[in-house]
Structure 1
Amino acid sequence: MQALTILRPNEATLTEKLVPTPAAGEVAIDIAFVGYCGSDLTSYRGLNPLVSYPRVPGHEISGTIAELGEGVDAMSVGTPVTVLPYFNCGICRACRSGRPNACPNNQTMGVQREGAMTARIVVPAEKIIPVTGISQRDLALVEPCAVGFHAVRRAELTADETVVVLGCGMIGLGVILGALRQGANVIAVDLSDAKLDVAKKLGAHEVINASGDVKARVAELTGEGPDVVVEAVGAEATFLQAVDLVATAGRVVYIGYAKAPIAYDTKYFITKELDIRGSRNALRSDFDDVIDELRKRPEAGDLIVTRTATLAEAPEALATWHERPGDFTKILVRF
């Protein structure tokens, strides 16, 4: 079978792989769709320190159970599924405390280990999430949305609060959906009017183009500032902006990875008595919440997916995303 493989920075091509067979306790999945993640783009650009080459990317997965390994009795061939793509150690402090998403030894498919951008994969049975009532296309949106939902969980956002979401890429849209699920008031900020339009159609109460005076507009809308700011860009400007925008005694949650160290004026952490929180990956409960939400909102996929490519087109689609990142919210590869 063929797989999309990043051979080295700025070079992706199709390579031949053996069709895998499940061992005891494993499940084989025939892939339907895989989404390109921002980490895949970073790997393509040679900027992901966690990746070695060559690497098959892909951890935003939908498919169908094709074969069961010995001892897997609770599942059935033909069942539509998505996959929890994080492989934690199970023994570290994070794992012992019920936060395996923060495991320092984590290996994510398509990053530290081979991903799913191929026709069939094999994973341990405990990583399988059977799902009904959602299209295969939209099943591939569950993982990135779950990352956004987890940030909302980390923020402890409630229905009477206002959140500013910096960045309306795929993860930022997941934050918006998760915040709306909590009943919060959502203000979305981005440089792209097209992405802001998607955020508005998904239900964001207000949108702000970041080319203007964001702080003045947020103050106009919130008075003393938002209760929560979620940073979903990973840029120095938005890391600093989050602290500047949030209300006194508010919470800031960072999902984006900044590419270089950032110098803060830390007095604002103290004088505003802020809670500064990180958010990494997602928990199974976040996946379950997203699945429930996407069942209720079948229109969300139509708004989010920018392009669907075949496997033959996948190298070109990745190169085009690299060249024009602002043009795409989500690219899916269809098998």
Structure 2
Amino acid sequence: MKAVQIVNPHEMRVVDIDKPVLGVGEVMVKIEYVGFCGSDLNTFLGRNPMVNLPIIPGHEVGAVIEKIGEGVPEGFTKGMNVTLNPYTNCGKCASCRNGRVNACEHNETLGVQRNGVMCQYAVLPWQKIIPAEGISSRTCALIEPMSVGFHAVSRAQVIDNEFVMVVGCGMVGLGAVIRASQRGASVIAVDIDDEKLALAKRIGAAYTVNSMTENVHERIQSITGGFGVDVVIEAVGSPATYVMAVEEVSFTGRVTYIGYSKTEVSFQTKLFVQKELDIRGSRNALPADFRAVINYLKAGNCPVDELISNETGPDGAFDAMKEWASNPGKVFRILVKF
């Protein structure tokens, strides 16, 4: 069967691999759409230290159940639209013991620490198959990245009557905008691209700030009456936005980081103490986050077509990735269709 493989930095090809064999307790799915994510871009550019090349990318999936193995419980049927939970958990580490399996110390995400599913068929344990009836397989490919943003909002414990600043309006950041606005917060979206900010406003942001053309601090102070924001969710992963989060959050506020900087970050650590901040990380997503995204998408209010920047087949994946690498700020999601 066909698969897309990143061979070396800046080198991608279509390869033939064996079709997987269905086992006990497993489900075979026919892959219909797979999204390229930021980790795939970093792998392509040679900036992902967690990847051993060559690797098949892909963990943002829209698929259809093809076959069901023995020992799979009821509730899964052939032809059902599904997405996949792409993470593993060992069940023994501190995170797993505490019920936070999304942050398993030994997690292996599809397409990162192990081969992904940018191919025609995949076999996974039934526990990793997430039914998404009522949602097209194309839209299903957006569920995983959006769920990462939803999870960050849960980590930040966002409630109504709060100002929440979301820094970065890519797919994950937009997920955070949606979820925070669902919870009744007043969301301030920050990005350097006016088109992304306009979309953020359409899906729930009350305010937008272009950090390239506006003074972020002055705008935040004006919007919040001089208090600063109650919560910052950082979805970029740059030193500048890491520092911005701590500076713009209010006294006794909460900062949740999704992105991680590839270089060291210098903080005025006195702000941690003076403001008595809660600073948290947010990694991957939990099953409840996937379900919340599915419920949101079923409502039909998501501008799905605006979130899909490009759609191509396996043979066009290399060109699509090169185009993204040349202008990363203008892409939400690239989908590869099988």
Normalization by structure 2: what TM-score? 0.97
Residue of 307, 319, 323 corresponding to 1:304: 307
SS for the counterpart of 1:313 is helix
Structure 2 residue matching 1:94: 3-state secondary structure = helix
Distance 2:309 2:202 in 1: 15
Q: What are the within-5 Å matches in structure 2 for residues 160-309 of structure 1?
A: 160-211=161-212, 212-223=214-225, 224-309=227-312
- Equivalent-residue separation in structure 2 for 1:187 and 1:107 (angstroms): 33
Task: Determine whether 1:325 maps to 2:332.
Answer: no
Contact 1:198 1:304 (8 Å CA) reproduced = no
Deviations 1:291-327 (A, max 9, x none): 0011113443122111111121111111111111112
1:117 aligns with 2:118: yes
**Cα distance in structure 2, aligned partners of 1:130 and 1:182:** 25
Distance between the aligned counterparts of 1:295 and 1:184, measured in 2?
Answer: 22
Structure 1 counterpart of 2:221, which letter?
A: A
Query: CA offsets, 1:172-204, max 9 Å, x none?
Result: 001001111111110000001111111111121
Number of matched pairs: 335
In structure 1, stretches of 5+ residues that fail to align are none
- Unaligned stretches of 5+ residues in structure 2: none
SS in 2 for 1:308: strand
- Residue 318 of structure 2 aligns to which amino acid in structure 1? P
SS at match of 1:306: strand
Contact 1:294–1:300 (CA under 8 A) maintained in structure 2: no
Q: Which amino acid in 2 is paired with 1:228?
A: V
Q: Please give the alpha-carbon distance, in whole angstroms, between the structure 2 residues aligned to 1:324 and 1:238.
A: 20
1:5 is matched with 5
In structure 2, the residue matched to 1:86 is: 87
Query: Any conservation in 1 of the 2:59–2:116 contact (CA below 8 Å)?
Result: yes
SS in 1 for 2:232: strand
Calculate the TM-score normalised by the size of structure 1.
0.98
SS at match of 2:21: coil
**Do the aligned residues in 2 keep the contact of 1:150 with 1:282 (CA within 8 Å)?**
yes
Structure 2 contact 81–135 (Cα < 8 Å) conserved: no
Q: Matches of 1:180 and 1:139 in 2, distance apart?
A: 22
Percent identity reads 47
Assess if the C-alpha contact under 8 Å between 1:33 and 1:61 holds in 2. yes
1:53 equivalenced with 2:53 (yes/no): yes
Q: Deviations over 1:93-112 (max 9, x none)?
A: 11011100111100000000
1:228–1:246 Cα contact (<8 Å) kept = yes
2:5 alignment partner, SS class: strand
Structure 1 runs of 4+ with >3 Å offset: none
Task: Give the RMSD, CA atoms, in angstroms.
Answer: 0.9
Q: How far apart are the structure 2 equivalents of 1:297 and 1:280?
A: 27
**Residue number in structure 2 paired with 1:71:** 71
Q: For residues 182-232 of structure 1, give each alpha carbon's deviation from its aligned partner in whole angstroms, at most 9, with x where no partner exists.
A: 111100000011111111111211111111201100110012011000100
Q: Which moves more between the two structures, 119-128 or 66-75? A: 66-75
Separation in 2 of the partners of 1:280 and 1:235? 16
